[in-house]
Amino acid sequence: MQDGNSLSLSKFDVSGHKLQRGLKGYLYGERGVWRPGDTLHLTFMLNDNANKLPKRHPIKLEITDPNGKLVYKNVTADNLNNFYKFTVPTSSEDKTGNYNAKVSVGGATFHKVLKIETVKPNRLKIKIDFDNEILSNNTPLTGNLDVKWLHGAPGKNLKAEIKAKFTSTYTAFDNFKDYTFYDPTRKFQTEEINVFEGKVNDQGIASINKKLNVGKNAPGMLNVQFLVRAFENGGDFSMDAFTKHTRLTVRLLVCVHQKVMPMDLFLRMKIKPLMWLWLMKMASL
């Protein structure tokens, strides 16, 4: 690449990872998540090529629970080619959540998050029917929420909630493959809203009616990820997740999407050249 066409890296951190006292280390386990009562088999590997440590130099492993309480501590010098093994027991009564592991060696510290989670099967069947297949912020989001127990009885008067997470996605239509419906000059930040929060009725059904006031600066269509939770009276909950698309109130885009036949549409357009050069952009700051 020619020098004049390369991008400036002056505003980015490209220095890489810095050594701690000339030491590098990494802590890993035999899997990514454990249940309460499982035994964690952890291994720490140490690279001290830049700052040699004495043979059988001890290292310390400390693990704290989600509340910050110290639940495990071990100091060992036993290793094989700078690989240190730790066997960490847990109790079936331990808290679930993110545990923090810290390894201390030679004045350097290394951290890792350990996930202790309990997986419970759903006991409630959740079903949502929206009136429209493609959602729009031009009309309210309407539909029905139906909650039933797995044996078929209605989830009478149970608490439920629906949350929606909006993310940007590529916009295209089958009948207009040669056209672009994505505005690169706009940026959209992920947004989350509460769609429904309340109780279903005696039949386990609730009506949904929510105005979608999102996507005002979206470059095109948005993906909507729904997370639905229905709560039992004892506090446990069942959950379901699914994705839909939402359409924006850009008049030309909505018009093209709703009518695939040619239209008598008159547009006055101006075409201006865009120079995407970092040097010009920096000069304007």
Residue 257 has a pLDDT of: 41
pTM here?
0.48
Q: Do domains 24-116 and 124-258 have the same CATH topology?
A: yes
> Which is the CATH superfamily of the domain at 124-258?
Immunoglobulins (2.60.40.10)
- How many Cβ atoms from other residues are within 10 Å of residue 163's Cβ? 16
Residue 5 has a pLDDT of: 66
Q: Could you read off the pLDDT tens digit of each residue along the chain, which spans 285 residues?
A: 566 666 777 777 776 767 788 899 999 999 888 989 999 999 999 998 888 999 889 999 999 999 999 999 999 999 999 999 999 999 988 999 999 999 999 889 999 999 998 777 789 999 999 888 777 777 888 999 999 999 999 999 999 999 998 887 777 777 777 777 777 777 777 888 899 999 999 999 999 998 887 767 777 778 888 999 999 998 888 999 888 877 654 434 443 444 444 444 444 555 555 555 544 445 555
Residue 255 has a pLDDT of: 39
Domain ranges of the chain: 24-116, 124-258
Identify the CATH assignment for 24-116 out of 2.40.50.140, 2.60.40.1930, 2.60.40.10, 3.20.20.450.
2.60.40.1930
